[in-house]
Structure 1
Amino acid sequence: MLVAEMMSAPRVELTETMPVGEAAQMLSATGCDGAPVTDGDGRLRGIVTQIDLLQDRFGPVAGDVATNRHLIPPRETLHVGDVMTDAVVTTEESDDAHELAHRMMETRIRCVPVVRDGVVVGVVRRGDLLRTYLRPDREIRRDVLEEIARRSPEAEALDAVVEDGSVTITGTDDTAVRRRIGDLAAKVPGVRAVEITGRE
């Protein structure tokens, strides 16, 4: 499965010159916890999260708060470009969705922009992972069989049963074939485990 099949359209795109208050309202209204920051041509400039937009609300803890206020610009003069992260993890439409999902889980990244020649064409959020991987067994079975059919000449002799994301494939005793179709099935979103049995 490719990232293009898992990604969703950006619900919010911010610009560097947008006031943080306006950006916060947009994220709140759309239920997004983060959004890409783009220029006038849609090219990625950075990413902003809800926590980034709260930076001006939390000054230094130590010392006199009154004497520390000058360390943070007033909210009306603070812009998205002042708080965004410009070192952004990105992906492309043709990348492997399974690998991206693992990376997001391991690094706890909430939102990954999908870019094409530097232009944002989509995003992958945690909600996209939930939608993709917590799928009904019937959909998983369909995709497993379709994936095997596309890449394995032995597909016609195989069948699959899926229960709570665990896939049992029947129909081959060939070790090499088992390894190949096992790898294919394991990459289908929603698959938790794969077992392959021989012909009955």
Structure 2
Amino acid sequence: MLVREAMTSEPLTATLRTTVKEALVTLSEHGITALPVVDRSGRLRGIVSELDLIEDAIVRDPRAREHAIAVDPLRPPQTVEDVYTRSAVTVAPDDDIAVAVELMTATGAKSLPVVERGHRLVGVVSRSDIVRALARTDAVIASDVTALLSSVGRADWLVEVDDGVVLVTGPANVGEASLARVVAQTVAGVVHVDTAPG
């Protein structure tokens, strides 16, 4: 599965001038954890996460302590420019989704901006996008695999799916079995492919 098959196209974004409050409201209202930060031409400048936005936004509550609290005279951050992460980890639309998962695992990121040449933002892929792709029903997966096999001239092969595991019955030799596996593995939600002669 490729990133473009799981990503959210036309994602919500922020600019450097977006206020911290506006960014917080956007995250809260849409149930997302980060916003790509873009310039006027749609090029990625960085990313602003929940943590970036809340880190300096909370004022200490005087009721929480019995002794006096030292008040920080510094003004809290006002705009995304004050808090965003400038070097965002990104993926491309045609990257394997496994690469995105590896990057999320290594960095702890919950979402990754998807960029094309020139760092132009074309989407965002999040953990929940990947979960949604993997959670597709067996019937939908079977239909997609069958359609793809038909498109390569193998409409006579039978497809069964159980818990994301695909069984393609019909390939008569190693080459055909390889074709069946390659085609089926491109479908979102497929976790494994087996073949059997017809």
Deviation at 1:97, TM superposition (A): 4.7
Aligned residues: 188
Residues 11-70 of structure 1: per-residue CA shift (max 9 Å, x gap): 5211112232222122112211111001122211000110111121479xxxx9627x35
Deviation at 1:157, TM superposition (A): 3.6
Distance 1:101 1:139 in 2: 24
Q: Which residue of structure 2 aligns with residue 66 of structure 1?
A: 70
User: Larger helix proportion, structure 1 or 2?
Assistant: 1
Q: Which residue of structure 2 aligns with residue 51 of structure 1?
A: 51
Assess if the C-alpha contact under 8 Å between 1:11 and 1:30 holds in 2.
Answer: no
Deviation at 1:118, TM superposition (A): 2.1
Assess if the C-alpha contact under 8 Å between 2:157 and 2:168 holds in 1.
Answer: yes
Q: Which residue of structure 2 aligns with residue 16 of structure 1?
A: 16
Q: Which residue of structure 2 aligns with residue 111 of structure 1?
A: 111
Q: Which residue of structure 1 aligns with residue 79 of structure 2?
A: 79
Where does the alignment leave 5 or more consecutive residues of structure 2 unmatched? Answer: 60-67
Alpha carbons of 1:98 and 1:185: their partners in 2 closer, same or farther (altered >3 Å)? farther
Q: Which residue of structure 2 aligns with residue 33 of structure 1?
A: 33
Q: Which residue of structure 2 aligns with residue 122 of structure 1?
A: 123
Assess if the C-alpha contact under 8 Å between 1:12 and 1:27 holds in 2.
Answer: no
Distance 1:170 1:105 in 2: 36
Q: Which residue of structure 2 aligns with residue 195 of structure 1?
A: 194
Q: Which residue of structure 1 aligns with residue 149 of structure 2?
A: 148
Alpha carbons of 1:190 and 1:110: their partners in 2 closer, same or farther (altered >3 Å)? same
Superposed structure 1 runs of 4+ greater than 6 Å apart: none
Residues 100-151 of structure 1: per-residue CA shift (max 9 Å, x gap): 453355334311222233222221122221222200111101222233344x
- SS at the partner of 2:112? strand
TM-score by length of 2: 0.80
Q: Kindly provide the amino acid, as one letter, of the partner of residue 14 in structure 1.
A: A
Matched, 1:137 2:138: yes
Alpha carbons of 1:40 and 1:50: their partners in 2 closer, same or farther (altered >3 Å)? same
Residues 140-175 of structure 1: per-residue CA shift (max 9 Å, x gap): 01222233344x55x134111011211111012312
TM-score by length of 1: 0.80
Distance 1:27 1:124 in 2: 15
